[in-house]
Structure 1
Amino acid sequence: MRTSNTIRTRGTARAAAAIVAGALALSLTACGGDDDGDEDKSGGTDKATESTVTLPKLDGESLQVAAVWTGAEQKNFKAVLAEFEKRTGAKVTFVPAQDPIINFLGSKVAGGAPPDVAMLPQPGAIKQAVDKGWAKPLGAEAVKELSENYSQGWQDIGKVGGKQYGVYYKAANKSLIWYNTQVFENAGASEPKTWDELLTAAQTVYDSGVTPFSVGGADGWTLTDWFENVYLSQAGPEKYDQLAAHEIKWTDPSVKEALTTLAQIWGKKDYIAGGAKGALQTEFPASVTQTFTGGDQPKAGMVYEGDFVQVNIGETKAKVGTDAKVFPFPAVGGDAPVVSGGDAAVILKDSKAAQALATFLASPDAATIQAKLGGYLSPNKSVDASAYPNDVQRKMAQALIAAGDDFRFDMSDQAPQAFGGTPGKGEWKALQDFLKNPKDIAGTQAKLEADASAAYGD
């Protein structure tokens, strides 16, 4: 059995989850129509212009940074890299990568031209990069920034064999459901706090003439996120940790229970925009935009995914806090789930410049720049909440920091890439097939277990 990279909390996760979910429930629904602006409402200073970290002069040095980010996410990260260039004199080139990034990096390494730094979205990918001898440990300055600015849990998930390899520059709250306000108002639907209430809200929206859910099933990772929220809330943190480490099998009754629960939505073709066939042809960005275009007659009334949905909402005319609102993923079992994800900076070519960039990304300076641009959360506890451009993001960020170590990291991101992070394979493919045929619970479990066993080397 593989040792889990999951953060092992000390019996407080469920209570913390309830606190965080409660805070989100209170705060996210209270946001008004002025939440799309860039105004710093708390009157704080412009943290992006302050320097809290000392960086070396790197005139004449050049760096390549690889990430799978596209669109606004890539553009905003480039603004952070531009600040690093300004402060050090180095030249930084962003290298667009493809999923799975570990395969992309493998081809670069084989060709003798790996990027200096890569942004890896899975702890499992970090471990693979270390096992293959690609990743280099962080230096003293980067480790110092991490220890000052990050909770122990966020430091630990960037470690392999006790050594620090990753800087979790970007975090995600993956326990959110976004909804079209006009649709809910016209239907008379209210924000649910439990799974049963979610099913009631879905039926209410359906009865009003709008399909309840938009699902980006063409991207298998969205389906794993659905499963993880249901499983964490229903089975509890201990079982979640065990399944994440493959200490229990995917044929376990707890997995059957979670898939049966998911089928209450996935098994109703009229509840999903385009039915299963349509969902499997819908990529994540389109699953968001089709929920917030078309006025009060969009293709769907709700879409599940993390805080980063805001980036895609921004591509429509909808405004976060008025046209688009959000509620915490409802409690399926005792408590609402709190699932997090993130992207870590990992050094592949050890140099003074690469270590300096990792140090910068571990500082509040870098995170504050991107926080101001929106659609981003940082696990860096030294980032002032005033940096976030609206109340929705401020409250999400505050809840993330308040959770400390009491959260669970995305389960599929902890798995070996072959099982948890490869299009058309493993968990992604098994859940896509399950979306297509939600009655085949036993077959789905058997396929998940066979693929997991092979990937974990059991």
Structure 2
Amino acid sequence: MLKSYVDAGQVADLTDFVKQNPDVTSRYLPAVLKNGEINGKTYALPNNNVQPVVLYFNKDVFAKIGAQPPKTWDELMALVPKFKAAGVAPFSLGGQSKWPDLMWLEYLVERIGGPETFANIAANKPNAWSDPAVADALTKIQQLVDAGGFINGFSSVAADSNADQALLYTGKAAMVLQGGWIYQGMKKDAADFVKNGKLGYTTFPTVSGGKGDPANVVGNPSNFWSISSKATDSQKKAALEYVKSGMFTEADTQALIASGAVPVINGIDSKLAASPDKDFLTYVYGMAKNAPNFTLSWDQALSPAQGDAMLSNLDQIFLKKITPEQFVTTMNATIGK
């Protein structure tokens, strides 16, 4: 999305500003800060909390079958029949909302092909969707569907109403792949489940033979501030002054942490450790802080037209209505649009 604004000349280049103000750039987690750059220039700066995609699990359900959260894709697939035999869906999925489907494709492509695969797609390189990692990831998704990995009727489950996470904390599903933001919702909707330590969380499994670093993450690095290229000099000066001294005040940082969110800045370890939510917040902070690469959610990184086509066709993949090859052909045709 940012690239679309940059290509249209609608946002100001902040490269000189960040070079002249190293205290601003050193404030941020490096992997998050990179997402404000296009072609080596800075056009946006992070402004709130980091939200990687996390694999959540119900500890009671895992204890019921004597299992541990999967560390590899093969382990994940091996858990499917065990949970089904126990009468529990292995994974919840808000398929009606479509965007949760994308988390599966993003992580699988990252684990199989590394961040370069999507970087080429985002750069609109010809036939970038033909990278073997994409078809491999789509094939694995359909194999998981065939194995009964997702809850029955997943295409009618709405993530926008938190129905997918409810299946997790009520024990109807063992796991859900979702954004870091749902923790705040579960604190409210399933307070005892969270407070009593029933909620587990881990990283997405590795894939045998994959090129991706297991520490890489996908999701929403942050929301970002940009400055309109049409702003007057005085407006730009005021905006940049706010970026320098008005963002991430002590009060703002504490308010984010109190809400169950993780600010995108360095040096907050002790603040997180003092929070009632310290276990989750510290874990998520570590994911983002230690990530060699943090890939922005694809539907936000691509143009609106490409993003819409991707979600519609990925929905068809999950429903087994098209093949991986058909998905690749369709998406290659959207490059540059």
Taking structure 1 as the reference length, the TM-score comes to 0.62
Tell me the distance in 2 between the aligned counterparts of 1:338 and 1:367: 28
Confirm or deny: 8 A CA contact 1:214 1:288 kept in the other structure: yes
**How many equivalent pairs are there?**
317
Confirm or deny: 8 A CA contact 1:234 1:332 kept in the other structure: yes
Q: Alpha carbons of 1:273 and 1:416: their partners in 2 closer, same or farther (altered >3 Å)?
A: same
Tell me the distance in 1 between the aligned counterparts of 2:3 and 2:159: 31
Tell me the distance in 1 between the aligned counterparts of 2:134 and 2:311: 15
Confirm or deny: 8 A CA contact 1:179 1:302 kept in the other structure: yes
Q: Residue in 1 aligned with 2:5?
A: 129
Q: CA deviation at 1:395?
A: 2.8
Q: Alpha carbons of 1:257 and 1:366: their partners in 2 closer, same or farther (altered >3 Å)?
A: farther
Confirm or deny: 8 A CA contact 1:367 1:378 kept in the other structure: no
Tell me the distance in 1 between the aligned counterparts of 2:283 and 2:159: 30
Q: Which amino acid aligns with 1:232?
A: E
- Corresponding residue to 2:164 among 283, 287, 308: 287
Tell me the distance in 2 between the aligned counterparts of 1:260 and 1:414: 23
Q: Residue in 2 aligned with 1:109?
A: none
Q: Residue in 2 aligned with 1:326?
A: 201
Q: Which amino acid aligns with 2:145?
A: W
Q: Alpha carbons of 1:150 and 1:163: their partners in 2 closer, same or farther (altered >3 Å)?
A: same
Q: Alpha carbons of 1:179 and 1:400: their partners in 2 closer, same or farther (altered >3 Å)?
A: same
Q: Residue in 1 aligned with 2:112?
A: 234
Q: Which aligned pairs between 1:79-94 and structure 2 lie closer than 5 A? A: none
Q: Residue in 2 aligned with 1:434?
A: 317
Confirm or deny: 8 A CA contact 2:28 2:264 kept in the other structure: yes
Secondary structure at the aligned position of 1:178 is classed as: strand
- Structure 2: where are the runs of 5+ without partners? none
Confirm or deny: 8 A CA contact 1:149 1:362 kept in the other structure: no
Secondary structure at the aligned position of 1:409 is classed as: strand
Q: Is 1:316 aligned with 2:199?
A: no
Q: CA deviation at 1:233?
A: 0.9
Q: CA deviation at 1:252?
A: 3.4
- Corresponding residue to 2:281 among 389, 393, 398: 393
Q: Residue in 1 aligned with 2:294?
A: 408
Q: CA deviation at 1:254?
A: 2.5
Secondary structure at the aligned position of 1:419 is classed as: helix
Q: Alpha carbons of 1:353 and 1:219: their partners in 2 closer, same or farther (altered >3 Å)?
A: farther
Tell me the distance in 1 between the aligned counterparts of 2:100 and 2:11: 28
Tell me the distance in 1 between the aligned counterparts of 2:28 and 2:286: 14
Q: Residue in 1 aligned with 2:227?
A: 347
Q: CA deviation at 1:310?
A: 0.7
Confirm or deny: 8 A CA contact 1:214 1:272 kept in the other structure: yes
Secondary structure at the aligned position of 2:128 is classed as: coil
Q: CA deviation at 1:360?
A: 4.6
Q: Which amino acid aligns with 1:381?
A: N
Q: Is 1:194 aligned with 2:72?
A: yes
Confirm or deny: 8 A CA contact 2:101 2:314 kept in the other structure: yes
State the Cα deviation string for residues 327-366 of structure 1 (Å, max 9, x = none).
2111113453522322212234562553344335654636
State the Cα deviation string for residues 345-390 of structure 1 (Å, max 9, x = none).
2234562553344335654636622442243223311334423621
Secondary structure at the aligned position of 1:190 is classed as: coil
Q: Which amino acid aligns with 2:8?
A: K
Tell me the distance in 1 between the aligned counterparts of 2:131 and 2:42: 34
Confirm or deny: 8 A CA contact 1:310 1:320 kept in the other structure: no
- Structure 1: where are the runs of 5+ without partners? 1-124
Secondary structure at the aligned position of 1:430 is classed as: helix
Q: Residue in 2 aligned with 1:277?
A: 155
Q: CA deviation at 1:217?
A: 1.9
Q: Residue in 2 aligned with 1:101?
A: none
- Stretch of structure 1 that moved more, 281-290 or 249-258: 281-290
Tell me the distance in 1 between the aligned counterparts of 2:104 and 2:272: 30
Q: CA deviation at 1:132?
A: 3.5
Secondary structure at the aligned position of 1:332 is classed as: coil
State the Cα deviation string for residues 192-222 of structure 1 (Å, max 9, x = none).
1111111122221111111111112233332
- Corresponding residue to 1:252 among 122, 131, 138: 131
Q: CA deviation at 1:162?
A: 5.2
Q: Residue in 1 aligned with 2:177?
A: 304
More helix by share: 2
State the Cα deviation string for residues 57-108 of structure 1 (Å, max 9, x = none).
xxxxxxxxxxxxxxxxxxxxxxxxxxxxxxxxxxxxxxxxxxxxxxxxxxxx
Q: Is 1:418 aligned with 2:294?
A: no
Tell me the distance in 1 between the aligned counterparts of 2:258 and 2:118: 34
Q: Residue in 2 aligned with 1:444?
A: 327
Secondary structure at the aligned position of 1:301 is classed as: strand
Confirm or deny: 8 A CA contact 1:146 1:155 kept in the other structure: no
State the Cα deviation string for residues 401-447 of structure 1 (Å, max 9, x = none).
233xx113135132223213xxxx22111111111116622222222
Tell me the distance in 1 between the aligned counterparts of 2:180 and 2:159: 19
Q: Which amino acid aligns with 2:207?
A: V
Q: Alpha carbons of 1:166 and 1:321: their partners in 2 closer, same or farther (altered >3 Å)?
A: farther
- Stretch of structure 1 that moved more, 347-356 or 184-193: 347-356
Identity value in percent: 23
Q: Alpha carbons of 1:254 and 1:163: their partners in 2 closer, same or farther (altered >3 Å)?
A: closer
Taking structure 2 as the reference length, the TM-score comes to 0.82
Q: CA deviation at 1:177?
A: 0.9
